[in-house]
Structures are given as C-alpha cells and as structure tokens.
Amino acid sequence: MSAARMIDGRAAAQALLDEVACDVAALREAGIEPCLAVVLVGDDPASDVYVRNKVRRTREVGIRSIEERLDAHTCEAALLALIARLNADPQVHGILVQLPLPAQIDAAAVLAAIDPHKDVDGFHRDNVGRLTLGESSLVPCTPQGCLLLLQQTLGDLAGKHAVVVGRSNIVGKPMAALLLNAHCSVSVLHSRSTNARELCRSADIVVVAVGRAGCVDASWIKPGAVVIDVGINRVADGAGQTRLTGDVDHASVAQVAAALTPVPGGVGPMTIACLMRNTVQAARHLAASLPASLPASPPIPLTLAR
C-alpha cells in the first residue's frame, strides 16, 4: 500500500491551461494575437512528438502557432537567419528551438541569438542571469512547473531544505535558483557528489533530474519528504513493449514520502502548460512595449516575492 499522496500534474496543468486560455482571450480582445513559433531541425522522432504536442496545446489555448521545420543538414547560418527573421517579426511573441540540434549547429550560439523577450524556454543567458539575480524573467518551463507543484503541495517553501539531484542547464541549475529564490536552503547533487544519498536523506524536498530509471529509491528519502520526479526514461516492460518511467523508484519511495509526482502524469504536463504561460507573458511584454497598446499588466506571478 502506498503511503505517499500522488501529486496530480495533469490536473494542475489543466488548471494552469484554463488560466492561460482566459489570458489569451483577454489579449485577443485587446487586439493582440499571442503567437508561438516552434523551430525543429531534423527528423528526430522524440523531438517530433514533443513539437507536435506543443503545437496541439498551443492551439487548444487559442495561441497562434507557427511551425518551422528545417532539414537535418541545415547549416547554423540558415538557422540563425530564421531566428533573426522571427526576432524581427512583431506578430511573433515566443520562439522555441527544439533541442537537441544536429551536431553541425552550435546550440549555445542559437539560444543566444533568440530575442530574450521572446525566449519562452528561458534558456537565453539574459534570462538565466535574471533568474539567478532573483529578478522577473522568462523561467525555464520544467523547473517552473516543478516549483508550482511544490507550492501547491506545501504552500510556503521558506526554510525548507531542498535537494536537487542533477545540475543540467535546463532543469537542475534553474530549479536550484528557483528554490533559492523561494527561500529554501538548497543542495545540488551531481555525478561527482560523494555523499549524495546522505545529503538527500536530510531533505524536505527532493527534485530528481538525472535521466536514469529508478536511481533514487527509498533509502535516499526522509520520511515525509515531498519528491518531484523529473526523469523520463523509456524501459522494456517485459512483454516486448516499452513504457515510460521516472528517475525515482516509485514503489519504494511511495512508502516513505509524503507526496510524489507520477511518471507519466506529473512534471511532463506542467512543462507544456508553463510554456503556454511563458508565451502569454512574452506577448504581454511585447504588447506593452508598443505605442498605444495594452495598459501595462503585471508579470504573471511566480511567487518570487521577497
């Protein structure tokens, strides 16, 4: 019998998408049609699925969607030219370049070329810097979704000890910055950490983003901790098929944690909902910067108030 409460990421994401749809309707009423451009280079099947899901959700909430699909042999200059065109287009509010990019393209150069105000992935170094400084910015979608789930589960996070397992630029590092901005004491673990299990076992909050199925089990978790499983791993199900599973060994962790996100149905839906939220935030920002446009509206709160 599982003791942990399952955190319903699908329900939380739907509530967020409903809010986004209302915001989009208000923007349209004011003559602004929020628009997200998604750029996919090559034919990686997983990336294709991610892009199709994002485009579907975009349309469902009333955001205009532009898909730019480029050949796998596209050179960096051609991709940068497309980014420059999208940056200059006042009808485009958000730009997302699906990662990974083919080897001939320098992903860092491409991310740096996106207008920071249209950077709905929050990967531009301006937005990374602003997040680190605790300033309002476009925040990477996956850690943003994790933070919202944690706040929904625990309320105020101030004073909690949070451990983030993984230090990637897209999940681990921004997650640590968000938790620090929410006044947690934060430890970040990685492949060179020596006493990872012991550190993790002292945490009130554990966010796992490693990419290795079941690498965190109950022996890593303090009784009553809240555990967010970011991992998405495809494993054999023993019947000749594959299934998705997280980085957390759910059967054992559910026995000790107070609450836990499932995979699928946890962080994944929140990631896409936060992408929609960022697109609305970007549209509001660009609209407010135009002459005779919307009255200035506050940025969408992310409970970062000090």
Q: Catalytic one among 23, 54, 119, 247?
A: 54
What strands lie across the sheet with 5-6, from one edge to the other? 5-6, 259-260, 226-229, 205-208, 161-165, 185-189
Shorter beta-carbon distance to ligand NAP: residue 271 or 278: 271
Chain Cα centroid distance, residue 239:
32
How many amino acids of this chain bind ligand NAP (CB under 6 A)?
24
Look up residue 156 and give its two tokens: 């105020």
Binding part of the chain for ligand NAP, among 22-30, 76-84, 103-111, 161-169 by CB under 6 A, reads 161-169
Shorter beta-carbon distance to ligand NAP: residue 20 or 171: 171
Binding part of the chain for ligand NAP, among 83-91, 228-236, 277-285, 298-306 by CB under 6 A, reads 228-236
Q: How far is Cα 182 from Cα 256, in angstroms, rounded to an integer?
A: 25
Of 168-227, which residues contact ligand NAP (CB under 6 A)? 168, 170-172, 189-193, 196, 209-211
Query: Quick check: is 160 catalytic?
Result: no
**Is residue 174 within 8 Å of residue 123, measured between CB atoms?**
no
Look up residue 17 and give its two tokens: 């998408």
Q: How far is Cα 217 from Cα 229, in angstroms, rounded to an integer?
A: 11
Query: Quick check: is 98 catalytic?
Result: yes
**Is residue 225 within 8 Å of residue 219, measured between CB atoms?**
no
Cα–Cα separations (whole angstroms), residue 215 to 196, 219, 250, 271: 12, 11, 10, 22
| Among positions 47, 53, 185, 233, the unique one binding ligand NAP when judged by CB under 6 A | 233
Which of 104, 68, 23, 80 minimizes the C-alpha distance to 278?
23
Q: Closest distance between ligand NAP and the C-beta of residue 78, in Å?
A: 26
| Among positions 110, 225, 232, 286, the unique one binding ligand NAP when judged by CB under 6 A | 232
For position 146 contacting ligand NAP by CB under 6 A, the verdict is: no
| Among positions 98, 127, 137, 142, the unique one binding ligand NAP when judged by CB under 6 A | 142
Q: Catalytic one among 23, 98, 118, 222?
A: 98
Shorter beta-carbon distance to ligand NAP: residue 78 or 170: 170
Query: Quick check: is 126 catalytic?
Result: no
| Among positions 94, 166, 174, 262, the unique one binding ligand NAP when judged by CB under 6 A | 166
Shorter beta-carbon distance to ligand NAP: residue 262 or 268: 268
Binding to ligand NAP by CB under 6 A, coded x per residue (else -) over 46-85, reads: ----------------------------------------
Binding to ligand NAP by CB under 6 A, coded x per residue (else -) over 258-277, reads: ---------xx--x------
Binding part of the chain for ligand NAP, among 82-90, 129-137, 166-174, 248-256 by CB under 6 A, reads 166-174
Q: Catalytic one among 115, 119, 121, 249?
A: 121
Q: Is the dihedral of CA 73, 79, 85, 86 positive or negative?
A: positive
Residues annotated as catalytic are: 54, 98, 121
User: Which residues sit at the interface with ligand NAP, rule CB under 6 A?
Assistant: 142, 165-168, 170-172, 189-193, 196, 209-211, 230-233, 267-268, 271
